[in-house]
Structure 1
Amino acid sequence: MPDFSRELALGGVVAGVDEVGRGPLAGPVVAAAAILPADLPPEIAALIDDSKRLSPAQREAALAALIESGAAISAAAASVAEIARLNILQASLLAMRRAVARLAVRPDHVLVDGQVAPDLPMPCTPVVGGDGLSLSIAAASIAAKLVRDRAMSRLDRRYPGYGWARNSGYGTKTHRDAILGLGITPHHRRGFGPLLPPA
């Protein structure tokens, strides 16, 4: 389970940052940033984990509890066009920078999940597996996942047949079959391997 030890060791205001949506065939990449109160009640901390380990209902409950606790949380995206122009890694880092910039409180330090840190105006430390180690990063992972899933559900209503409300744009069999039958939408990442034109 993630804990608050890294944040306490750094001192000051620490934000956790994570992204979701690097691997899908469709939709934006979304990042979130979270600054948790130092006195976060243990019953709320117990709700927080890597978003991949939580059910949709658990993620919703955790985010609602975090907001109620006074946590500062923001989210931002990089579009399919930006992914195509920059590449998925750089688009992910762009979304992270945007999420940090949108925080209501400027952090003194940022902990980011993964091996690569975005270029930020404050110190930033990458933490491999951070969403399972840091409460702040785990909180950001929950927010990013919820924001992106909601966005894909909205797109699913506009482009029915691809199953985006269920697969979030990932390359499931249903999604791949729909691409063959229905074609590619403006929200598909045309540069991704399965969507590249044949040589």
Structure 2
Amino acid sequence: MKYYVPFRTPRSDIPSITSHKNSENFEISEVGDKNNPIFIEEAYKKSNNNFSSPPDLMIFDNFIFSNSKLKDHLCSKKYNIKYQESIFIDNSKKYHEDYWAIVPTDIIDIIDTKSSIMELTFELDSNNPLYNDYLFESIIVYKKKTKGIKPIFIEPYTKEIVIEESILEFIKENKLTGLSFIDITKFQPHKIFKKNNDIINI
């Protein structure tokens, strides 16, 4: 099984998003526990993008914001994920309401730290990789750790959302736009900011 890190497609017509002032205090722990929607907006107010048709998928702070198609697919599988209604506000102040915040609730370490080439650059808690920083030259997935795990989760060493290939295949089949993907074994932070052969674009 292969695993992939999703990130904003590096194209100028895909919005970089941030939380709107109506939602500036929302917390991951509270998602799914409230009835009020999460508001998101274009991070660059001076952009000419008005997004009469925003992308199907957006990402911010380890939330995936999706239209109902991906959200309904994930719900049908009964994964351990929190969902909350979300609204995207474009630069013309138009509200796009068919979005959901999708928040993985599992934190799963799948990296073989003994076989991977990695460097610890900052350590706050030796028992919890989420609180430390790492640089990777190569990543090896520890196969035994991936048996029976959820197909969408947070990987603590990379601190990124990770999805298994079945979810990526659903996104491809339905041509859901807005996110690109990279195999976690090829993941390095700088790769998500510029074009390279490891990026999978939809």
Instruction: Please give the range of the TM-score, normalised by the shorter of the 2 chains.
Output: under 0.3
- Using the size of structure 2 for normalisation, the TM-score is 0.25
- Using the size of structure 1 for normalisation, the TM-score is 0.26
Normalized per residue, which structure has more strand?
A: 2
Normalized per residue, which structure has more helix?
A: 1
| Larger RCO, structure (CA 8 Å, separation 6 or more) | 1
